[in-house]
Each structure stands twice: as C-alpha cells, then as structure tokens.
Amino acid sequence: MPAAIILSGTGRYADPWHDFALTSAALETVAREAGWQVSITEDIDATLALGLDGVDLLIVNAGNPGTTPPEDPALIDRGRANLAAAFKRGISVLGAHTAATSLRDYPQYRTVLGGEWVPGHSWHPPFCEIHVRPLHDLIVEGLSDFTVQDERYTDLVLDPGVEPLASTRDEDRRHILAWANEAGPTRVVYSALGHDGRAYESPGYRSFLRRVLIWLLPRPVFHD
C-alpha cells in the first residue's frame, strides 16, 4: 500500500485560527479511504531533514512559519536537499488550505505547488456556505456540484499552466478553489478549502478529496 505522511502544524507552523490536529485527522481518514497508508508528524523540519524515503505522498496541513526561525537551521539545509530528491523521483503533494502559506523556508515546495498566498493581495471573506463546482474532467469526472461550510482563500496567485479543479462564483466573478499541477514526475493538488472540521463533514468535499487522492496514487512504471 502506498505511503503518505501528513505534515501537521505545530510549533512555528501553528497559529491561533486553525485546529491542525483535528483537520489532519480528517485528512488521514479520507486518505485511507482512497487507498493510502497514512502517518502524521508534527515535527515538520526534523521530518524533512530525516528524508522522505519510502513516502509516496506528502500532505501539507500546516501554517505560515513567518519569521520564526527553526530551532536548528541545519535541519533546513538537509530538508531542502531531501525535498529536491523526493520531487526528482516523483513524490506526490497534496496541500490543504494554509499549505499555500507554509514551508516558506523550502523554495522547492513553492516551485512544485503551483501557487501561493501573497500578503496584501490574497484574502478571505467571512466563513460561510460555499457552492463548489468541480471543473476538471479527468480528475473529478462525474462529480456533482456540492456545498461546504468553510473559509475560502481568495486571490491566491497561480502559476501559468496549473489546471483548475474547482471554483465558486459570487456576483462579481469566478474564484478558483483548487488546482492541479505537474512538475516533472511530481503530481500536486492544492485546495483552498479545509479551514476546520466542518469542511470535512461535507460529503461532496470528501468525495472531491477522494478523487484527488486517487489521482495522486503512484503511477505504474513500465520497462521495455
């Protein structure tokens, strides 16, 4: 069974607004339903420094470390090298909500993610019910529109070439809520949803995540 690890926000990756322990547990449940063997770690920098051998999927559910330095700066150098190696071999990535603000010390992560929260530009409206429309035929084929109680991150800055997976509309315009990206052999999905446990109570959103997690499963390697 392919292995996934959830980086769950604590320490410098925690904040007062998100219960990462609760949402990481919800992500673990959905990932197991999609066929992943899952573990959760709360020591993010140390985990990346130790390496990701044997890990097929990195799920980032952690906040912005801001200007708080790591306890051991040497961990960052090792973590950067290990992430680069993991992306080179094709590890998959799922970013949830605050993942667009996280792992700021690891530029390799931002490169593959395909977008980010930009202070002064990105924002979110008040917590509310959101009508979500799946967009991508291959990944979420046949999935109907659904609603979710959530805080939608808005005006994230997307890189050229990313594939929108879901959107919502207000009276002004359409807002992208999730996207897919392929960076070499690495497959990536980011979802702006998932502020708290209420998002994961939505059957539609759980179905959406299961579809995404199935797409992120390791692809078979064929040899001549």
* Residue 222, pLDDT above cutoff 60: no
pLDDT digits (tens, 9 = 90+) for 9-20: 999 999 999 999
* Residue 171, pLDDT above cutoff 80: no
* Residue 221, pLDDT above cutoff 90: no
- In angstroms, the CA 92 to CA 6 distance is 12
pLDDT digits (tens, 9 = 90+) for 174-217: 999 999 999 999 999 999 999 999 999 999 999 999 999 999 99
pLDDT digits (tens, 9 = 90+) for 115-151: 999 999 999 999 999 999 999 778 998 899 999 999 9
Averaged confidence pLDDT in the chain: 94
Question: What H or E segment, with its residue span, contains residue 49?
Answer: helix 44-50
For β-strands 163-169 and 174-183, DSSP reports them as antiparallel
What pTM was estimated for this model as a whole?
0.96
- In angstroms, the CA 89 to CA 12 distance is 29
pLDDT digits (tens, 9 = 90+) for 64-123: 998 888 888 999 999 999 999 999 999 999 999 999 999 999 999 999 999 999 999 999
